[in-house]
């Protein structure tokens, strides 16, 4: 496909669908093609999640960030070290900011099989 055609299609999709609808369209196309998950690059790094995730992964895909003020507060609270438990972690976006700090022990647990398989 030529660059001109691609820009035309992107412009048309942008006019017809808002961000909410584009993600729904992407989910529909992914399911139709047997795609189980998406990989999104953002401030917390590359994150993988299930196609069905219409809340957290969609927000991360659209904003390229997730709960940045919350992550900063958690990191500040644990600045001198400690333990962070993320119960109901979903895809782990509040754990990622503290996971690289050797002074912090952390456990992320997600009981929902649809989210935890990624």
Distances (CA, A) of 16 to 19, 54, 57, 59, 88: 10, 20, 22, 20, 36
What value does the mean pLDDT take over residues 36-52? 92
CA distance 13 to 16: 5
115 — pLDDT class (breaks 50, 70, 90): low
Query: How would you write the chain as a 3-class SS string?
Result: CCHHHHHHHHHHHHHHCCHHHHHHHHHHHHHHCCCCEEEEEECCEEEEEECCCCCHHHHHHHHCCCCHHHHHHHHHHCCCCEEEEEECCCCCCCCHHHHCCCCEEEEEECCCHHHHCC
What value does the mean pLDDT take over residues 42-60? 90
What value does the mean pLDDT take over residues 42-62? 90
Q: What is the pLDDT of residue 116?
A: 60
Residue 18 has pLDDT above 90, yes or no: no
C-alpha 17: how far from chain center: 21
């Amino acid at each position: 496909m030529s660059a001109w055609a691609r820009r035309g299609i992107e412009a048309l999709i942008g006019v017809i669908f808002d961000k909410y609808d584009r993600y729904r369209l992407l989910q529909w196309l992914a399911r139709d093609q047997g795609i189980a998950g998406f990989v999104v690059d953002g401030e917390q790094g590359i994150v993988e999640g299930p196609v069905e995730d219409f809340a957290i992964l969609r927000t991360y895909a659209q904003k390229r960030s997730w709960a940045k003020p919350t992550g900063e507060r958690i990191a500040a609270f644990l600045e001198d070290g400690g333990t962070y438990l993320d119960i109901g972690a979903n895809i782990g976006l509040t754990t990622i900011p503290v996971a690289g700090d050797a002074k912090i022990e952390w456990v992320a647990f997600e009981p929902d099989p649809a989210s935890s398989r990624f």
